[in-house]
Structure 1
Amino acid sequence: MTASLPLALQLCPLSPYLEQALGQRVAICRWFELDGAGQAAWLAAHAGDVRAVLTGGHIGCPADLMQALPALGLIAINGVGFDKVDLKLAAARGVLVGNTPDVLTDDVADLAVGLVIGLLRDLAGADAYVRAGHWGHRDWPLARKVSGRRFGIVGLGRIGAAIARRLEPFGPVSYCGTAPKDVAWAYHPDAATLAAHCDVLVVACAANAATQGLINADVLAALGPQGYLVNVARGSVVDEAALAQALAAGHIAGAALDVFADEPNVPDSLLACDNTFFTPHIASATVETRLAMADLVLANLDAFLAGRDLPARVV
């Protein structure tokens, strides 16, 4: 580590571009490469010097680690989600939290539409059918039409609104959230009511205490046996046990998930369901967006080191 540079903890792997640029600004400890004993020893020697934590939205910053760093001033998240950071603790400690909103909105919304089409048309199954040599030897079962469906968006923030705009040409859109917004789409007061009025329920809300397990058995029952669930928010928003049960029993028609509660672990009960379409949390995983996210992480870090307000500040 370079003594002349401020010290930072890196909690997860980042892109080579971002890691190289960070190395020019801060001295980095690759925290995720240390075992428990190594982390404890490192903290004993260096905890008082750490000025920044660099992390991903899927990891955040554990509260006990934040409390162990008396000089911490910034948690820089390479992602939009901040549900794994104790914001009240950060504010009380005077720790700034920055993320990378806006720049990943288009990609997440694009993937949501891709998941809708992939799920209803069973694109993964069609690919496997061709690769297995079944074409011409076994009939391919009919899928379901996308156009004309009713779409419900859970959470009409930046990403939810972008998804709604993309889906609107396919069919009518409605939404639920904490309050109605000045939009043309129909508003429903809660997820269960929304589910009862749509064919495809797309989850795009923030993950927090209020949305933990929001998509539960009651919501899935309201969605019904002809309904589909798509989640590009956080795995914690969906009750995965209830979802697996609903899928296995035919209480809903199918589900497409980019996120899971305990990534990278996917419950066996979900893997056993054929009426599913999974992707490995790749909503923002394009070259262009990951570059833009990295640049915003750097902009947040540069602002902090210069004593300016963060361009993308959560608290």
Structure 2
Amino acid sequence: MKLFQCSNCNNPVYFENTSCEKCGNGLGYLHEDEKIISFPINSLPVANPVNKGQALLYCANYELDACNWLVIAEGENTYCEACSTNHMIPDLSYPENKLDWQKIEAAKRRLFYSLHKLKLPIKFIIDDAPFNLSFDFLASDPNDPNSVKTGHNNGLITLNIQEANAAHREYIKEQLSERYRTLLGHFRHEVGHFYWDVLIKNNPQNLKEFRALFGDDREDYGEALQKHYKNGAPDNWRDNYISSYATMHAWEDWAETWAHYLHLMDVLETSFNFGLTLDPEISKVPNLRVACDFDPYDGADMRKIIKHYLPLTYSINSLNRSMGHADAYPFILSEPVIKKLNFIHKVVHL
């Protein structure tokens, strides 16, 4: 992700900030122009510094402490692009639901940042019918914790809001022997299913290449799911897959790899904007010496991206271990996985 600063006092700020800690100005994110706008607190609407003829207001979900994006004051939609995709949200009269939902919306906005950088639309016409990205954020029945399952169906992504609860998420992570489980990871995975329908399903050439790399999508999904949870992943899964779950079905291999594609693009863009250079005090390992001197969204080839990403993961993991945390990126990018990432990179930029 880019770095942001208050346009009033130049103080560095985060993507999620609604106010500047240094000068006290209000802050809002202008999605179309990838800018943080600074303005005197309580002075909305404000003039759009990019288009002087527009006045800007916060997205309607700002009033619920769930969004810091700006919208055109006289526009038809009072919700920003990210919030307008909500089909259903949980009952916010329960404080725990509201807190979970706020965390979910924060993660979703980071997803939309990446989609915008990749120039990926969220609305399509397929077979003469609308095919749009939308979200249901639902709470499980207290008597049936499995009543809401996270998944994707025909453009609609459902997320169990318990995934916003760190204790619950860690419990599921341990139960499933996962090495990584985050809200942002869920979004990146599930949106991969959406873009499989858009980029692969109805494109004969892409579908042919997909099947050569990921396997046959026509395999019965229900049977594959039962087999996976009964037998687990094969012992040598790391040779060809990014995760054990990716071995379950070609669709899941695609979605898992897609999520990692978004991971590496965002990490590398952040490193570029920080001007990171790695020159470790370790002898005879020249491939750890890299300068993150390019924006991965500007058309770099995947081999160059991977060459810079791998040393970054080693450094990030080392920093995490220094703080007593688990590895931030506990994965191995084998050659078959890199080929899958390269395919995704290609179809995204077609």
| TM bracket, shorter-chain basis | under 0.3
Question: TM-score of the superposition, structure 2-length normalised?
Answer: 0.24
Whose RCO is larger (CA < 8 A, sep 6+)? 1
Richer in helix (by share): 2
Question: TM-score of the superposition, structure 1-length normalised?
Answer: 0.26
